[in-house]
Structure 1
């Protein structure tokens, strides 16, 4: 089967070997696996991070956002059958979906939203799972809860922020404050449903104070948390909660003590990495997201369509993500 791979980590994306096309053996599904014919994918920051840091040997396939059609099922599969249209984010310890066919455990797969085309659906799985787990599992916000409380989302125009703002606005009573630094990304965050948008390139505490929005009860930091930590501590209410997804080289959490602030880290791959008892919760989560999409409660976060799934187009997508200027999700469709 055709696949786009890399052999040597750390190469600049402009290098011809940073991503290249090759042929790989056709995968065979395990007991609880689906074999999916890949129709569309999205590119995420995790793709660029693994390409930069991986220590594995041999050709490696990236890609953790997939829409496709089930072609084969393992003997213990009970949730899907051949012909089903599905969407999912995969598992980081298995080959990714920059390939014509992909093998995935059914417990982390959902039926594709009926109302979306393949590209629009591909924008959703990884970020939806991450945002849902951040808001409801890590911070413990309850659906339809949060009345009189506020949430600050730092980096709200990216893939996770774009769906997180929607979830918080549509499924809770929180006052949602997003940050974005450019006029076009600020408008994107407002259209996603944020009550207020501020600029994270200038003082966050000052802007919140000026608009009488401080202190806040929850902060979700999606980028450069180490840079913003002092400001986050300043604006959080005593006994407030901070959740993050990025990978700071260092993070001094001692300043959280004075306010009894709690820290929550989210990695959507944890359940599949450790085969946790509640691993199937991601299946149920994606089914719920699909229904919310079909009901018109949520909308796709597709930002740009980069064409077919090819080495050249994936390099363009990686370059845009590495620039830090991506808005929403970058998708590719068809081989």
Structure 2
């Protein structure tokens, strides 16, 4: 099966020009757990811009794209609960061609069916960021995945970003008090609208601001931006037996003895670890099913804030410009 796709041959910076091209790619044959999906709405994530810059991490031609909502067109022999015509959402993998493609082969175990009352655009903004937030809070920090069944306070650094925007809401649903960081008036307003109990400025001393709120330490801290900048301060701010989590890579080594004396834990989150190693991948489909339920019941709101229309190199280039500007609040979705 041939599919039209948008990609590039070598990594490039946006300032060098638009090197996105249209390709005709050969899709792999369906395995017994696979489905073929016709993509109808996709979201652009920061990992897309990082992979475009480096040109590493996926095979050439590089067909990126992870978040998607699409319509199932073919089903493998051991797919029990999906049929042609179902709308689905997923976050994809780094091991196959991504959603910058009209058609895509996806493992059904990382998919959730999309209820009729949810729009494709609003749903497409959510999967990757939700899985990142869910796995960090539930699987790494040990919180219980039930409404109001947890206690404690969490600090979320970069609350207005794609992951932070969902983590604020998910943490509130779990029962936590949420302190988010933001610096611009519009991003502060955004975090508050999502349910953050407090919003502090990450351009100022965080410890002093936390102390003014009445906290000497915090049991949960999520660093979603600039891990190198915040590691030392957050290690000091963490409560004994607390969890310090990060979704971003570091450029230098960090001293774990800062946490050892508190029996604190440092936990990293990378959602493609499961699909890269074919490890418990079905848990992602189950987590996305929870996402669809929370969206349907309006217990979570979509983080969609910007929509572009069209399937072309020019639209993809414009989308990457907007995401890479670091001025975008929430998520950007492209409708095919």
TM-score above 0.5: yes
Q: For structure 2, list consecutive stretches of 5 or more residues without a partner in the other structure.
A: none
Maintained 8 Å contact 2:18/2:314: no
Provide the secondary structure at the position in 2 that maps to 1:24. Answer: strand
CA separation in 1, counterparts of 2:263 and 2:27?
A: 52
Maintained 8 Å contact 1:42/1:330: yes
Of residues 305-314 and 123-132 in structure 1, the stretch that sits farther from structure 2 once superposed is: 305-314
Deviation at 1:236, TM superposition (A): 1.3
Deviation at 1:26, TM superposition (A): 4.8
Provide the secondary structure at the position in 1 that maps to 2:309. Answer: coil
Deviation at 1:235, TM superposition (A): 1.8
Deviation at 1:124, TM superposition (A): 0.8
- The size of the alignment, in residue pairs, is 330
TM-score between the two structures when normalised by the length of structure 2: 0.94
Query: Which residue is equivalent to 1:127?
Result: 129
Q: What do the CA deviations read for 1:242-263 (whole angstroms, capped 9, x no partner)?
A: 0111011114133223323210
Maintained 8 Å contact 1:27/1:101: no
Of residues 249-258 and 38-47 in structure 1, the stretch that sits farther from structure 2 once superposed is: 249-258
TM-score between the two structures when normalised by the length of structure 1: 0.94
Query: Which residue is equivalent to 2:155?
Result: 152
2:178 aligned with 1:179: no
Maintained 8 Å contact 2:155/2:221: yes
2:270 aligned with 1:267: yes
Deviation at 1:77, TM superposition (A): 1.6
Q: Where do 1:51-130 residues align within 5 Å?
A: 51-55=52-56, 58-130=60-132
Q: What RMSD, in angstroms, separates the aligned Cα atoms of the two structures? A: 1.6
Query: Which residue is equivalent to 2:171?
Result: 168
Deviation at 1:213, TM superposition (A): 3.2
CA separation in 2, counterparts of 1:180 and 1:78?
A: 44
Query: Which residue is equivalent to 1:201?
Result: 203
Provide the secondary structure at the position in 2 that maps to 1:306. Answer: strand
Provide the secondary structure at the position in 2 that maps to 1:61. Answer: coil
2:257 aligned with 1:252: no
CA separation in 2, counterparts of 1:31 and 1:14?
A: 43
Q: What do the CA deviations read for 1:156-205 (whole angstroms, capped 9, x no partner)?
A: 111111111111101x2211111111110111111111111111111100
Q: For structure 1, list consecutive stretches of 5 or more residues without a partner in the other structure.
A: none
Distance 1:259 1:288, change over 3 A: same
